[in-house]
Amino acid sequence: MMKKEKIIDFLVVIILASAPLFLNTYWVDVLNNIGIYAILALSLNFILGHTGLFHMGHAAFYAIGAYTTAILNTMYHVPIIWLMPVSGLLAGIFGYLVARPIIHLRGDYLLIVTIGIVEIVRIALINNIFGLTGGSNGIFGISRPKLLGIIIRRPQEFFYYIWIFLGISVYLFHRLENSRFGRALNYIKEDDLAAEGSGVDSSGYKLKAFIIGAIWAGFVGNIYASKMTIISPESFSFWESVILFVIVILGGSGSMRGIILGSFLIIGLPELFRQFASARMLIFGAAMVVMMIFRPQGIIPPKPRKYALDALNWEKG
């Protein structure tokens, strides 16, 4: 079974790598958007899928990364690539500041607070905080990234830039998931109180997971700003957080394969059926209801961990 999955993964990678060779510019750009949302959803998945925190304000960290890039690039002409770690760092600091006082909240209470956070950030951007964000008009004239002396401009070039970063993200999150840190998060998700009773610092691990997810969303904000060269507050609305939440839940909370498939379905399918664009909310709502009834674990649920299988076998004798 494992070998079959690896073969499928390899074939998918080959198909995606060759996609810009036979797709037109429009569809390559659609794949670029899918890649951006997939990375964002992976970063949210680390908070929601692996830790079990109901977080619906992820667009706030995405916005911090994008605006950090835009402000420093347009005002001080700092190269885009250099600004990626800065964007991630500031998004992580913001994540720490907002998560520290609310990390003890559970379930719906945390969900409601995080909804408020993304709205506070959006309204602050609209009101041109400190005269830096450009208000409703946003920020124009952001530079393109430059790698190895090559300026990335065309959608085909951004395709490899985005999807290679997605591949790096999958690898790093996979390593984290299977580390001691990832196992601790899994304990917390399954039973918060039992994890604390076993000596796991529940609040500390939750806070770290929140910060890591925020940092990665800040990285994506940098990529998005350089791709679009113009950003505005409406690009980071609550709706963006809803889309990411839906991708994680429908794809399979905790499953990286599910997250990537969910990104293709949620971002790609509306482009195939543009005539139904006005009914997107209705379709998303119906899809969520159907999935929660018939497959609450998502399209591709995560595999049980090895220690879970060992425990199951032990119980069977």
pLDDT band at 143 (very low <50, low <70, confident <90, very high): very high
- pLDDT tens track for 188-204: 888 888 888 888 888 89
Distance between start and end Cα atoms, the chain: 24
What CA–CA distance (Å, rounded) separates 168 from 188?
Answer: 26
Taking Cα atoms as reference points, which of 304, 49, 52, 305 lies closest to residue 191?
52
Measured in whole angstroms, the distance separating CA 101 from the mean position of its chain's CA atoms is 23
Instruction: Tell me the two tokens of residue 144.
Output: 């393109």
- pLDDT tens track for 272-282: 767 666 676 67
- pLDDT tens track for 283-302: 767 777 887 787 777 888 77
Q: In this model, does residue 48 exceed pLDDT 70?
A: yes
- pLDDT tens track for 85-128: 999 999 999 999 999 998 888 778 888 999 999 999 999 999 98
Instruction: Name the phi and psi angles at 252, rounded to 5.
Output: 135, 100
Partners of 146 in the β-ladder: 151
Judge whether 72 and 83 are in contact, CB under 8 Å: yes
pLDDT of residue 208: 93
Residue 229 host element (H or E): none
Question: Exposed (0-12), middle (13-18) or buried (19+): which is 37, by Cβ within 10 Å?
Answer: buried
Residue 44 host element (H or E): helix 25-48
Radius of gyration of the chain (CA): 20
Which amino acid is located at 199 in the chain? Answer: G
Q: In this model, does residue 314 exceed pLDDT 50?
A: no
pLDDT of residue 277: 62
Taking Cα atoms as reference points, which of 255, 267, 236 lies closest to residue 42?
255
